[in-house]
């Protein structure tokens, strides 16, 4: 983007109320009241059933039903199951606690019902700040944008992330970094979002290595949650590109872990766009204190990531061919033209887990 282009842009702000700070989860009952929710459907994943029950007890008479059945990639069958329980218990609002799976399910229900949502993130996914909904049906993941799916209130309490294992902390934070990196070369980018994106990468790049060493570091948890919030704003404000297309393909079609895929792929997608988006790479480099942005992202991925190659995720060489075919169908706008050969070369590097070439 040239200097002249920076002074010609559109900037649309999505309406949302954000409450940030340690211990502020205690304000959830008051927020439900403010939103007019009298019977909330409380949504979490199965591994957070205890948290689900704790929030159920916290909201007391405003509890309509508990649904600890959210799963990755928001399958439509799970959405239909949750809606049946919601209707049976006459719920009039949604309280989602957790990461992208819980938030995605709440958004899917809101899209179908327009019910109000209160979200309490416990990971760094960032989807709570967007009007984007990703859903999976018959092995294909598709995305849409609608104001219906944007949560009305988000409560960020870093204390809820203190027990997040390093194996989730690192990939989840890298997922947020991926949102910010792609915002820097978005077709509808603007200087305001670019400032937030660079600050997001700086905050997460600083805090994630500390957290995989000491997950109880509350100051680092606050910094990481702040960075993921900024990344979520970026994700909601501008269009994403090849990285998100690749990750939606790999996650939705091969049932790979959402955060692990984003964590692994961001060095390779950044390298793919290196020469076509020099200003974006310079911003990433400033945030990570390097002149080799893809290399720094690779080093960060190796430090905080859980799985370091597509092969280790269980993909085969034939899967790479299929993934390349799917990734070039209805491609997202990208600074560098998206070609099957280029995507396949990128996937091959990620399959082996080798350092991106300069």
In tens, the pLDDT along 125-174 reads 888 999 999 898 887 888 898 999 999 999 999 999 999 999 999 999 99
d(CA 224, CA 210): 10
What is the pLDDT, as a whole number, of residue 5?
54
What is the pLDDT, as a whole number, of residue 1?
46
Contact 127, 70 (CB under 8 A): no
Model pLDDT for residues 236-290, shown as the tens digit of each residue: 999 999 999 999 899 888 989 989 999 999 999 999 999 999 999 999 999 999 9
Q: Where are the alpha helices (DSSP H) in 62-190?
A: 76-88, 100-113, 166-183
What is the pLDDT, as a whole number, of residue 143?
84
Q: What are the residue ranges in the chain where pLDDT is below 50? A: 1
DSSP 333: P
Task: List, in order of start, the domains of the chain with CATH numbers.
Answer: 17-161 (3.40.50.1970), 166-352 (1.20.1090.10)
d(CA 152, CA 96): 12
pTM of the model: 0.91
What would the two tokens of residue 132 be?
């984007």
Short-list 320, 355, 124, 302, CA closest to 223: 124
Please name the residues in contact with 97: beta carbons below 8 A apart, sequence gap of 6 or more. 42, 43, 44, 48, 51, 52, 55, 119, 120, 122, 160
Cα angle for residues 96, 212, 70 (degrees, 5° grid): 20
């Amino acid at each position: 983007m040239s200097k002249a282009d920076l002074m010609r842009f559109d900037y649309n702000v999505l309406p949302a109320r954000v409450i940030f700070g340690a211990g502020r989860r205690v304000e959830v009952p008051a927020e439900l009241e403010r939103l007019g929710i009298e019977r909330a459907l409380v949504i979490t994943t199965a591994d957070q059933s205890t948290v689900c029950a704790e929030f159920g007890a916290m909201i007391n008479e405003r509890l309509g039903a508990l649904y600890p059945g959210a799963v990755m990639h928001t399958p439509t069958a799970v959405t239909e199951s949750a809606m049946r329980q919601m209707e049976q218990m006459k719920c009039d609002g949604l309280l989602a606690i957790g990461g992208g799976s819980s938030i995605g399910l709440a958004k899917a229900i809101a899209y179908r019902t327009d019910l109000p949502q209160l979200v309490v993130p416990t990971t760094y996914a960032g989807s709570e700040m967007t009007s984007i909904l990703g859903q999976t049906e018959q092995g294909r993941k598709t995305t849409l944008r609608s104001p219906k799916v944007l949560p009305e209130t988000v409560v960020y309490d870093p204390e809820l992330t203190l027990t997040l294992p390093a194996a989730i902390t690192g990939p989840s934070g890298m997922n947020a970094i991926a949102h910010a990196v792609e915002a820097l070369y978005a077709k509808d980018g603007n200087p305001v979002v670019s400032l937030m994106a660079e600050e997001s990468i700086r905050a997460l790049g600083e805090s994630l290595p500390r957290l995989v060493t000491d997950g109880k570091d509350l100051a680092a948890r606050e910094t990481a949650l702040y960075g993921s919030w900024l990344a979520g704003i970026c994700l909601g404000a501008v269009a994403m590109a090849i990285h998100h297309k690749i990750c939606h393909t790999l996650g939705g079609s091969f049932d790979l872990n959402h955060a692990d895929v984003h964590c692994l792929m961001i060095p390779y997608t950044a390298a793919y766009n290196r020469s076509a988006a020099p200003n974006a790479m310079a911003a990433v480099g400033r945030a990570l204190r390097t002149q080799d942005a893809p290399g720094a992202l690779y080093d960060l991925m190796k430090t905080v990531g859980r799985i370091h190659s597509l092969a280790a995720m269980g993909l085969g060489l034939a899967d790479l061919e299929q993934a390349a075919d799917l990734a070039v169908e209805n491609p997202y706008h990208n600074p560098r033209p998206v070609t099957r050969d280029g995507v396949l070369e990128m996937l091959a590097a990620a399959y082996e887990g080798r350092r991106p070439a300069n």
